[in-house]
Amino acid sequence: MRCDVIDARLVETLVRICGREHVLTNKDQLRTYESDGLRHYRSPPPVAVLPGSADEVREVVRACHEVSCPWVARGAGTGLSGGALPITDGVLVVLTRLNRILEVDLDNQRVVVEPCVTNASVSKAVGPTHFYPPDPSSQVVSTIGGNVSENSGGLHCFKYGFTTNYVTGLEIVLPDGEVVALGGKELDRPGYDLLAAFVGSEGTLGIATEITLRVIPLAESHETMVAYFGSIEAAGEAVSEIVAAGIVPAAIEIMDELSIEATENWTHAGYPLDVAAALIVELDGPEAECDARSGDVLEIFKSAGATGTRVAENEEERALIWKARKAAFGAMGYLSPYYYVQDSVIPRTRLAEILGRIRELSEESGFRIANVFHAGDGNLHPLVCFDARNPGEAEKAEEVAGQILTACVQAGGSITGEHGVGVDKKKHMPEMFSEQDLEAFQRLRCAFDPDGLANPGKVMPTPRLCGEVPGPYRRHPLEQAGVAERL
């Protein structure tokens, strides 16, 4: 049973739970929520509810469960895969009012937050001595709840890891309205690692209403260096040599010519416009270690054929170098009115080959394709520039982006490194996963959400239902006799 049209009684129940001002049914108001960061997918929800506490979230979810009404949870809406795209026959649960930092336990390096605390404010709360390592470029706006949902990475994840490595506890509301605590401040609580199952589940297993994060001490020293190269391949070669030398930079990023052009227009960070690629390497750690290693890195830059280098002299210069990199997506507006971001991952050693394929696709299609990527972990963000005002161009751009993604999967990579599958890449899931793999995913989903109410239509390539948990299996007499086989 599905509520094809939102039942007026359900709306009244939501009003009773959250107050009339926090239940939106007006079409104009609802347009605010019609899409997330993946702007070209739009679907206004029939109703949006803004609960103000974990209890209200639980009551909202329970009310939906009682009438079998599906729902989608949303944080700041910065996601880039349409994970928070509303559904036309369900409730949009907007969590922005749950934005309190509940506890800073610096002694134990833990911070407890509500889901819509922004990523950047966690580091701010524990600074200047400590920080929260996952740092997506959207960190000023994007929320911890959204980061948990997508298992967000960021610029520093090559060394420090992802959201999943920093969540130690969650309080979640299951799709039947039950509240469950997973983990806590302590590590290794007995039982299955359901924290790991939940982080990155893209809102399909429930809603996190309280999140316990691990923070770590800020390194004693950091050194930020940029090298310019005549080809992206040469920059890629420098990355390989750095890794082969056993150096683990805190961040290691490449921007190509087009990305540099776009960001320089905006940030004036001083990147030269006549180079094919800029490689940013940031080392951090104890001062003596940084000093020893930065010399090694500069030496590698030189031997890999860098045409120039720049070392940040102070904190301002470091911030400026990063400002340009973090602005890369936003700045693309200077080059093109629309762009389509990909998030595929390749084994880093296949970089030259994939860049060649991207170049071919650009030439064949006529679209300009800019490249910014997390070079350490092989996470590419090709930006396919197009103009949606020309009929058919958006579809064509999506097709080209899909071809890039296919090439990456064929090279042994992944369709998504940090943006999530959402609606955007679900049709590509079968390129990575067999039917048995997808069925295994569905087993987990059904354990949490047997009625299929949480964010339906996302992640999995085709809609699936959960069967009953099978009872003890008995072979049919015909099977026993070898007359028939179970298929």
Look up residue 442 and give its two tokens.
């569905």
Q: What is the number of other CB atoms lying within 10 angstroms of the CB of residue 227?
A: 26
Nearest-angstrom CA–CA distance, 154 and 161: 9
3-state SS, residue 424: coil
Cβ nearer to another protein, comparing 45 with 378: 378
The stretch near another protein (CB under 8 A) out of 4-12, 48-56, 289-297, 313-321 is 289-297
Asked whether the beta carbons of 328 and 263 are under 8 A apart, the reply is yes
3-state SS, residue 372: strand
Distances (CA, A) of 224 to 11, 230, 358, 371: 53, 21, 29, 21
3-state SS, residue 83: coil
Residues binding another protein: what is the number (CB under 8 A)? 96
Look up residue 399 and give its two tokens.
């097709």
Task: Output phi, psi for 50, to 5 deg.
Answer: -120, 80
**Nearest in space to 164 (alpha carbons), one of 203, 126, 193, 131:** 193
| Least Cβ distance, residue 350 to another protein (angstroms) | 9
| Least Cβ distance, residue 436 to another protein (angstroms) | 5
Residue numbers 71-110 binding another protein by CB under 8 A: 106-109
Q: Which of 247, 298, 320, 394 binds another protein (CB under 8 A)?
A: 247
Q: Which of 378, 382, 452, 457 binds another protein (CB under 8 A)?
A: 378
Cβ contacts of 255-258, under 8 Å, gap ≥ 24: 255/280, 255/324, 255/325, 255/328, 255/371, 255/372, 256/232, 256/370, 256/371, 256/372, 258/335, 258/368, 258/369, 258/370, 258/371
Concatenated DSSP letters of 160-226: H--GGGTEEEEEEE-TTS-EEEEE-SSS--SS--HHHHHTTSTTSS-EEEEEEEE-EEPPSEEEEEE
Asked whether the beta carbons of 355 and 370 are under 8 A apart, the reply is no
| Least Cβ distance, residue 416 to another protein (angstroms) | 5
The stretch near another protein (CB under 8 A) out of 29-37, 140-148, 316-324, 464-472 is 464-472
Cβ nearer to another protein, comparing 59 with 171: 171
Contact code string over 19-58 relative to another protein, x by CB under 8 A: ----------------------------------------
Asked whether the beta carbons of 254 and 373 are under 8 A apart, the reply is yes
Residue numbers 172-231 binding another protein by CB under 8 A: 174, 180-182, 185-194, 196-197, 199-201, 217-220
Q: Which of 4, 21, 273, 434 binds another protein (CB under 8 A)?
A: 434
| Least Cβ distance, residue 36 to another protein (angstroms) | 16
| Least Cβ distance, residue 87 to another protein (angstroms) | 20
The length of the chain is 487
Contact code string over 130-159 relative to another protein, x by CB under 8 A: x-------------------xx-x---xx-
User: Is residue 470 near another protein by the rule CB under 8 A?
Assistant: yes
User: Is residue 161 near another protein by the rule CB under 8 A?
Assistant: yes
Cβ nearer to another protein, comparing 121 with 442: 442
Asked whether the beta carbons of 432 and 44 are under 8 A apart, the reply is no
Q: Which of 58, 74, 348, 458 binds another protein (CB under 8 A)?
A: 348
User: Is residue 485 near another protein by the rule CB under 8 A?
Assistant: no
Q: Which of 240, 265, 309, 365 binds another protein (CB under 8 A)?
A: 240
Concatenated DSSP letters of 21-66: GGEE--HHHHGGGS--SSTT-----SEEE---SHHHHHHHHHHHHH
Q: Which of 11, 243, 311, 320 binds another protein (CB under 8 A)?
A: 243
Q: Which of 291, 315, 363, 399 binds another protein (CB under 8 A)?
A: 291
| Least Cβ distance, residue 378 to another protein (angstroms) | 6
Cβ nearer to another protein, comparing 24 with 148: 148
Look up residue 246 and give its two tokens.
């056993």
Residue numbers 414-433 binding another protein by CB under 8 A: 414-421, 425, 429, 432-433
The stretch near another protein (CB under 8 A) out of 57-65, 287-295, 353-361, 382-390 is 287-295
Q: Which of 79, 145, 146, 413 binds another protein (CB under 8 A)?
A: 413
**Nearest in space to 250 (alpha carbons), one of 407, 417, 376:** 376
Residue numbers 443-462 binding another protein by CB under 8 A: 443-448, 459
Three-point CA angle 37, 278, 120, nearest 5°? 40
Cβ nearer to another protein, comparing 264 with 424: 424
